[in-house]
């Protein structure tokens, strides 16, 4: 799976969790908290949706700041 495919999958998840988010502005440098307004509860929902969509489980707590960091974490797990 390419990084672009992962990005599209993340955008689908974000749209489901935060329907009012403008996905056109979501990119690798988008900050999860400052740009996408993802709080701790939404981060938990995002994590669960990522695990389900991409077919892996997080090994433990992880801290992501940007969309790019999420993609770089997922990429090796789905290839």
| pLDDT for position 79 | 87
pTM: 0.91
For 37-72, write each residue's pLDDT tens digit. 999 999 999 999 999 999 999 988 888 999 999 999
Statement: residue 1 has pLDDT above 90? yes
CATH 1.10.10.10 is the classification of domain 3-77: no
For 21-35, write each residue's pLDDT tens digit. 999 989 999 999 999
| Residue 41 CB burial class (10 angstroms; 0-12, 13-18, ≥19) | exposed
Would the CA dihedral through 69, 11, 54, 17 be positive or negative?
positive
Statement: residue 4 has pLDDT above 90? yes
**Which residue ranges make up each domain of the chain?**
3-77
CA distance 74 to 5: 11
């Amino acid at each position: 799976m390419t990084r672009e495919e992962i990005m599209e999958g993340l955008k689908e998840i974000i749209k489901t969790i935060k329907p009012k988010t403008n996905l056109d502005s979501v990119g690798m440098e988008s900050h999860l908290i400052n740009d996408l307004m993802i709080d701790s509860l939404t981060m938990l929902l995002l994590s669960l949706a990522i695990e389900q969509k991409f077919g892996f489980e997080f090994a433990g707590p992880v801290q992501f700041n940007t969309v790019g960091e999420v993609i770089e974490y997922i990429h090796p797990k789905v290839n």
